[in-house]
Amino acid sequence: MAAVFVRLKVRLLLSGLRSSGTRQVYFALSLLFGLALGLGGFAALAAAGNAADDRIVTLLFALLSLGWIVLPIFAFGVDELLDPSRLALFPLTGRQLTRGLLASSAIGVPPVATLIALTGAFSGYAHTAAALPLVGVAIALELLLCLLLSRAVTTALSGLLRSRRGRDVTAVILAVGAGSVGLSGPLISAVAVDLDSTIGRIVMSVARYSPFGAAGGAVAAAGSGRYLVAGAQLGVAAGYAVAALLWWQRGLQRALTAVEQTRHKRKAERVADLRPRWVRRLLPNTAVGAIAAKDLRYLWRDPMRRTAMLSTVGPASIGLFSLFASGGRNAHSVLFTMVTATMLSVVALNQFGLDGAAYWMNVVAGNDPRRDLVGKNLAVALVALPATAVVATIAAAITGGWPYIPLALLGGVAGCGAALGVANVISVRAPVPQPENLTNAWAGRGGGQSMSAGLTQLAAMLLVAVILAPLGAFFVFSATKWTPGLFIAGPLSVGYGALVWRRGLESAVRWLWWREAELLQKVRPQQAA
């Protein structure tokens, strides 16, 4: 049965590549990206072994396992090509389903890149005939643990995502978790700089016998000739693999057989203005205002949009925390908060893909892509710019840079305009369909496009950074070398951001004109199945 799942996974991947030239390009880029990461990990493990440092391999194995758990949750979702919920009605036993899903999980760019990275342990630590099989078993156990832990954790979270309140809590947890990465920076730095420090010894002692670093500890022991210790740690790693397998099987059985409880009773709601009260005077009573009001409600109610927007708080908090922790508490630090608007505008990179089949209402309402895009952009701006004001105020309270708040807001206008201009083009040219069942934790970004969607968004953010680089350089130059330039930077930011946004809007409108039906076909949930 495992072979059937593997053939099905390969067939689905090949069919997806043959269906679109864009997917072929994205897949090629993902291969190059995965190969670069794999070779980098290979070189790191080989160098650590040749340097006779037994602790680095344990730390690298632990970080790799944590990455397999965290990244699918925060970024790409689980492999949606073989959705277990679609197999619930087939006469498959629990063992057959588990073996098939596990085998199919080993097919793809991330598992291959991980295997390439792990094989660096052969070059660094398998110097004797006795160490060679021990290192090989440790590599196999590490890859198995990565797959099992990733599946088990995401399966366990699926129960939480079945309710709206659960999705709300998950969104907050993800945002807080992303923000807490900034707080872990000093800890990682302390461990990386001195593994003999108190923090380093505590981390290594925990990682060596944890599910994340047990296999790495076995590699280190085998490389130094402690074969009995290596065998014992391999036994510990095997025990963790069995525990993860049992945990996944139990969670999978519960997720496929549990009945969702829904509440059909609703309180009578009176017809009210679609526009929220706090922006009623800012939104025009037109079609543009209605679209903006609708997207504002979706930004709050739709878990996928809310998670995408809240998770951007993490990178912003990381940057600010690193800046203040490194002694950058001068008044000019407030200017760095202007990036908040750019980061919060990331949700606009897939504006129509998030609408899905609901986009048909825009199509039947008349061919006016300008109306749709302006309304959606207005909704994002009404969230991003006030958030920038709040972050700038907090930074000013810490640094005393109150006079720089207006400049930070004007710079935020430029960042928001540039991000929305690029997002408009990406949204119509490369929309990513979303799964129809948003309560399913296995459903990701649809149609096997998890990696391509991530690369598209990464390329878009890099393009935004390139566009804003000249303006950022002018801000830095004015703040450090030519103070009068700050009086020019504010109006220049607004004009520059408006120009980039207008060019992106016009390009998107020209392409989408009379192509709305084609866009609807691309973003339908069936495309995400």
Q: What is the pLDDT of residue 336?
A: 80
Mean pLDDT of 257-278: 55
Mean pLDDT over 333-352 rounds to: 81
Where is pLDDT greater, at 505 or 52?
505
- State what percent of residues in the chain have pLDDT above 90: 7
DSSP 120-171: HHHHHH--STTHHHHHHHHHHHHHHHHHHHHHHHHHHHHTGGGSHHHHHHHH
Answer yes or no: is pLDDT of 12 > 70. Answer: yes
Q: Cβ of 225: how many Cβ atoms within 10 Å?
A: 12
330 close to 480: Cβ distance less than 8 angstroms: no
Note whether 325 and 186 are within 8 A (CB). yes
CA pseudo-torsion sign 109, 115, 117, 120:
negative
Q: Cα separations (Å) of 271 from 11, 268, 274, 275, 295?
A: 50, 10, 9, 12, 18
- Provide the 8-state DSSP code for 266: -
Quote the pLDDT of residue 501. Answer: 93
The type of residue at 232 is: A
Residue 90, Ramachandran bin (φ over 0: left; ψ between -120 and 50: alpha; else beta): beta
Longest Cα separation, the chain: 78
The closest of 351, 421, 437, 456 to 20, measured between CA atoms, is 456
Query: How far apart are the C-alpha atoms of 143 and 135, rounded to whole Å?
Result: 12
Predicted confidence (pLDDT) at residue 175 exceeds the cutoff of 70: no
Say what the pTM is.
Answer: 0.58
Q: SS3 for 58?
A: helix
Cite the beta strand spans of 213-336 per DSSP E: none
The answer to whether 440 touches 85, Cβ cutoff 8 Å, is: yes
